[in-house]
Structure 1
């Protein structure tokens, strides 16, 4: 497997008939942590959706975790998503089951069968986000920050080659955002590759890393000034 987990070459991204981002060139290597920033409506979400198969890439070239985004078929998308961990702004936890139940649901849906292995894997990912004692609770019994930690744990279940975090702190207060960011930083230090869309500039200053910006239909790298 190549060290490149994501590569776009002259990729033009459309939402319906309207062109959102033009001629995007971007490469991500294993172990990178990259921010994707830009105003609301600048194309961050469309960029992310193209990466996990919600929008088709029709112009240019693109590959992600060894899948070709241009030639990928509908039936390939579930297999692509097994190699990705996706963290959304609104957690997307199933309200009618416990945290353990949420995580078990994902593992079973992706082909895990053995109860012991399922339990061990759930314990491992909850431990990584410091939520090991909360598995018996229901989502509504947890704070927003705790729910987002669970969402990160869920993204880690299948040991993804790339984590796509789409505004993971968008619904959280500043203090909780920092806590969630610390979790993402730790996971990255452990070798996980993360692309994080955000408009929380305070986090960028606190945890500087390579940053891409969507603006006026373009995506370009911005160099953060050292304060």
Structure 2
């Protein structure tokens, strides 16, 4: 039996009072790489926000990394997010501190206290994304692709069970997108589960994987046709 990292049953996703997605049922198993596709406004972001506790799950059932989304309390959310690695389109790095300090800020915020362990963990995750020598640089001194690599490293800090990447290549040129995608592929090969929202169909063709689509208020798996 494969471990289930995310499961939704007949879930309805709301943005305030308006229904965005209905009757959502899906499973993601440990170690899978899954794309989430759909037009702008189709509900991808609302779907992602529900998974990390930004929007409450009002109807249906949802379990993610052993948390029940239906009964999730406000003070459970930080603990849920420690088990998730979240990568945003716009990097969300703190501009007033260097990369190492950005990483240490997250570790302190999530309860780490041992300085030596923290420094070691920062080096470990930066090495995984090929940024080990850039820790002393500030975000504005890095290219977009480098900043996104750092954002991926930051998502790995707490050894997450699931990485949620929301349009991680959305602000990058095609060549840089491929480089960032290679980093995500490596992380997935090392056994991590990744759910990635994307508009970039060229990447999906280049790196085929299970694909789910938001369309007409529904979420369903897309069968990939052989090219």
Q: Given the two structures, how large is their TM-score scaled by the length of structure 2?
A: 0.99
Mean CA deviation greater in 87-96 or 111-120? 111-120
Please give the per-residue CA displacement for 1:67-118, whole angstroms capped at 9, x wherever unaligned. 0000010010000000000000000000000000000000011111111101
Please give the per-residue CA displacement for 1:182-218, whole angstroms capped at 9, x wherever unaligned. 0000000001100000010000000000000000000
Paired position in structure 2 for 1:184: 184
Cα distance in 2 for partners of 1:170, 1:115 equals 35
Paired position in structure 1 for 2:11: 11
Paired position in structure 1 for 2:94: 94
Q: SS state of the match for residue 145, structure 1?
A: helix
Equivalenced residue count is 226
Cα distance in 1 for partners of 2:224, 2:90 equals 28
Q: How does 1:27-176 map to 2 (within 5 A)?
A: 27-176=27-176
Cα distance in 2 for partners of 1:56, 1:112 equals 28
CA shift at 1:169, angstroms?
Answer: 0.3
- Structure 1: which 5+ runs fail to align? none
CA shift at 1:226, angstroms?
Answer: 1.3
Cα distance in 1 for partners of 2:144, 2:180 equals 10
Cα distance in 1 for partners of 2:113, 2:169 equals 33
CA shift at 1:223, angstroms?
Answer: 1.0
Cα distance in 2 for partners of 1:160, 1:173 equals 28
Paired position in structure 2 for 1:210: 210
* Aligned structure 1 segments of 4 or more residues deviating by more than 6 angstroms: none
Q: SS state of the match for residue 61, structure 1?
A: strand
Cα distance in 1 for partners of 2:169, 2:63 equals 27
Q: SS state of the match for residue 34, structure 1?
A: strand
Q: SS state of the match for residue 146, structure 1?
A: helix
CA shift at 1:127, angstroms?
Answer: 0.4
Q: SS state of the match for residue 195, structure 1?
A: strand
Cα distance in 1 for partners of 2:42, 2:33 equals 21
CA shift at 1:224, angstroms?
Answer: 1.2
Paired position in structure 2 for 1:201: 201
Q: SS state of the match for residue 9, structure 1?
A: strand
Q: SS state of the match for residue 171, structure 1?
A: coil
CA shift at 1:66, angstroms?
Answer: 0.3
